[in-house]
Chain A
């Protein structure tokens, strides 16, 4: 029972960052129809920016997070501008191949610049954990959870309460009609990709200091993000948020009670089972996938 409470708290904290990753990916798919294979690299990029600013330049920890997110947004905008803009309207396989190429190039650029040695990032938080009853949590994890929830909430507000968000939703529903109404669809696409990329970089910047930073850390993150997005239904932001927490719980309980070696396999089994039984995702109302 004590163990269960601990697993519960761990899963909740992990779920926050998973949800961040999933929302970014699902937004890009929903609005642009792009399967973004560079998502994991943006995550890695965010983590390395934390390392660069905190450890190499000695910038304040919290300021570094903000800078890492902004740089992630900028890199996302650059990718969209150079690679995706010329391919608007191309079929999904073509963009997928280009994104795979970009992923390989980015990952190896990161490996080249930072070398394969794992890097760690110092945090300003006390090393003794927060203990509540039988459950103990490191302060950095508490901070990461709060920050992730804040970012998720900010994304929701942006999409549901601002003019930009309204334009994004309109483009999601019908790009042509949105364009007729005077929405600059090209700009919405770039904004969406940059924003999704920024969320991935944020997840990397938050998780980098908890784990270590390696050039290939993005691979598993990207595959998990795909699992989360499938769980929630492609393009479904609420679904991705819930999916992030669901995957975290499945992983944490699976690792705790079944086998820790297969922790990372849980997500993929979830994908296969979901696609077999309910391919439109757990929360989608209707969508043709076949």
Chain B
């Protein structure tokens, strides 16, 4: 029974393609879902360990590029007479490479960036993302630079003799994104409620105190960074095989900002926060599109972000659950008398 509401939500989401009937809307939901996965991964760092990582799009892009490159193959001129040639590999292997590559980068950046905190950490992560973007723009041999990687194959499952399915349709991609999102959600939930998750929250609340009770701060931070990066990489993999083209613009800072807005608006440090924030900021642009130009939309985003920090610093999910709690406790008589008594007590 405990999982009934969550199961209902997933069932509802799974039923969407059956009745939606509009491929364009479905496309919006798929990209929104991909961004929700990325936002969930950012939430692990931003919400649970309290580190504002503004280079998160780098992991998303690294996952996308790595998976795309492995699936279409590449040749790399290392010296004049030696060229490394990688033949195209199956999609499942490419996807795995994308996730692992992002995870390794997360480990590396975690090792470097967690030597510093606060403003220094933020600037280091931004710099990292910018270096990766410039690399993708200039390393023409590997990434084709601004010409972009084209003809990336869609996701497919092939087990000889059992199944041979390629995810061409929007519906099938929707279900892949949904399944990956649910897996990521469960994974984050398990981590947060585990020993490691408690350690992360402890060091968010008070780092010196967490250290004093024997929590290896850097170890847990790096662990969070690796998981978070690998998850963002998985989102990038989904993106690259769905859109089937990837260019250096994937590393633009604006995408990191989008993820941050999603997490902060929904509620950082809550499991449902990135999902709620992601749905709002995934669908809002499409609603606004009819009435406003992109610049106006972004101005509204910026203003919304400021307003959320001013008026709802905890985000929507904690605010709503607090409201819900207040409503439900008012309904229960036992608690009501308790509240009344305290009321009297404070007056006396």
Q: Which of A1-9, A153-161, A187-195, A270-278 contacts B (4 or more CB under 8 A)?
A: A270-278
- List the A side residues contacting B9 at CB < 8 Å: none
Whether, in the assembled complex, B293 has its beta carbon less than 8 Å from a beta carbon of chain A, the answer is: yes
Contact among A103, A234, A290 with B117 in the assembled complex (CB-CB below 8 Å): A290
- Answer whether residue B14 sits at the interface, using C-beta atoms and an 8 A cutoff: no
Please tell me if A80 contacts chain B, counting CB pairs below 8 Å: no
Query: Which of B95-103, B123-131, B161-169, B323-331 forms contacts with chain A?
Result: B123-131
A92 to B52, CA, bound (A): 10
CB neighbours (8 Å) of B305 from chain A are 97-98, 100-101, 104
Identify which of B116, B138, B264, B303 contacts A105 (C-beta below 8 A): B303
Given A98-B309, A104-B302, A279-B116; A272-B264 close (CB under 8 Å): no
Residue B134 lies at the interface, judged by CB distance under 8 Å to chain A: yes
Whether B120 and A265, one on each chain, are in contact in the complex, defined by CB atoms closer than 8 angstroms, is no
**CB distance A276 to B112 under 8 Å?**
yes
Closest to B254 in A: A104
Decide if A265 touches B135 in the complex (CB within 8 Å): yes
Bits for A239-283, please: 1 = Cβ < 8 Å to B, else 0: 000000000000000000001011011011101100110010000
With contact pairs A219-B253, A261-B138, A290-B115 given, residues A94 and B126 touching in the complex (Cβ less than 8 Å): no
* Interface bits B222-238 vs A (CB < 8 Å: 1, else 0): 00000000000000000
Contacts of A97 in B (CB 8 A): 52, 260, 264, 305, 309
B304: which A residues are within 8 A, CB to CB? 101
Interface size on B, residues (CB 8 A): 42
Residue A289 CB within 8 A of the other chain: yes
Q: What residues of A have a CB within 8 angstroms of the CB of B116 in the complex?
A: 275, 279, 289-290
Instruction: Write out the residue numbers on chain B whose beta carbons fall within 8 Å of the beta carbon of A234.
Output: 119-120
Chain A residue at smallest Cβ distance from B298: A108
Is A230 interfacial (CB-CB < 8 Å)?
Answer: yes
**Mask for A80-116, Cβ within 8 A of B = 1, else 0?**
0001001000001110111011111111110110000
Are B131 and A269 within 8 A (Cβ)?
yes
- State A96–B123 Cα separation when bound (angstroms): 11
- Decide if A92 touches B118 in the complex (CB within 8 Å): yes
A45 within 8 Å of B (CB atoms): no
The answer to whether B74 has its CB under 8 Å from any CB of chain A is: no
- A275 with B120, Cβ < 8 A, contacts A94-B313, A109-B295, A226-B126 known: yes
A76 and B306 alpha carbons, distance in the complex (Å) = 17
Q: Give the dominant DSSP class at B's interface.
A: helix
Could you tell me the distance in whole angstroms from the C-beta of B195 to the nearest C-beta in chain A? 24
Known contacts A93-B52, A272-B127; A105 and B120 CB within 8 A of each other: no
A271 & B264 in contact (Cβ 8 Å cutoff): no
Inter-subunit contact B131/A111 (CB<8 Å):
no
A104 to B257, CA, bound (A): 9
Neighbour of B303 across the interface among A94, A101, A111, A261, CB < 8 A: A101
A108 to B313, CA, bound (A): 24
Indicate with 1 or 0, residue by residue over A174-185, a CB within 8 angstroms of chain B CB atoms: 000000000000
For residues 121 through 162 of chain B, which have their beta carbon under 8 Å from a beta carbon of chain A?
122-124, 126-128, 130-131, 134-135, 137-138
Known A100-B305, A261-B138, A262-B134: A109·B123 in contact at CB below 8 Å: no
In the complex with contacts A101-B305, A223-B127, A262-B134, A35-B122 CB distance below 8 A: yes
> Knowing A92-B118, A230-B120, A275-B124 touch, does A105 contact B309 (C-beta < 8 A)?
no
User: In the assembled complex, how far is the CB of residue A222 from the closest CB belonging to chain B, in whole angstroms?
Assistant: 10
Write the nearest CB–CB distance from A273 to chain B, whole angstroms.
10
Query: A227 at interface (Cβ–Cβ under 8 A)?
Result: yes
Interface residues of B in 19-54 (CB under 8 A from A): 50, 52
B3 at the interface (CB under 8 A from A): no
Q: Which residues of A contact B131 (CB under 8 A)?
A: 265, 268-269, 272
Is B243 an interface residue, CB under 8 A from the partner? no
A265 to B130, alpha carbons, bound, how many Å? 7
CB contact under 8 A between A271 and B124, given known A112-B296, A234-B119: yes
In the complex, which residue of chain B has the Cβ closest to the Cβ of A109?
B299
Q: Is the CB of B52 within 8 A of A96?
A: yes
A29 on the B face (CB < 8 A): yes
A108 near B260 with CB under 8 A, answer: no
Report the bound CA distance from A219 to B133 in whole Å.
14
List the A residue with the shortest CB-CB distance to B123.
Answer: A226
Contact A108 B299 (CB under 8 A): yes
Q: Say yes or no: is B175 at the interface (Cβ < 8 Å to chain A).
A: no
Chain A residues within 8 Å of B52, by CB: 93, 96-97
6 intermolecular pairs with C-beta atoms under 8 Å apart: A261-B138, A264-B130, A268-B134, A271-B123, A279-B115, A289-B116
**A227-B127, A262-B138, A272-B131 provided; 17 other pairs, C-beta below 8 A?**
A83-B306, A92-B118, A98-B305, A101-B302, A101-B304, A102-B302, A104-B305, A105-B299, A226-B127, A261-B137, A261-B138, A265-B131, A272-B128, A275-B115, A275-B124, A289-B118, A290-B116
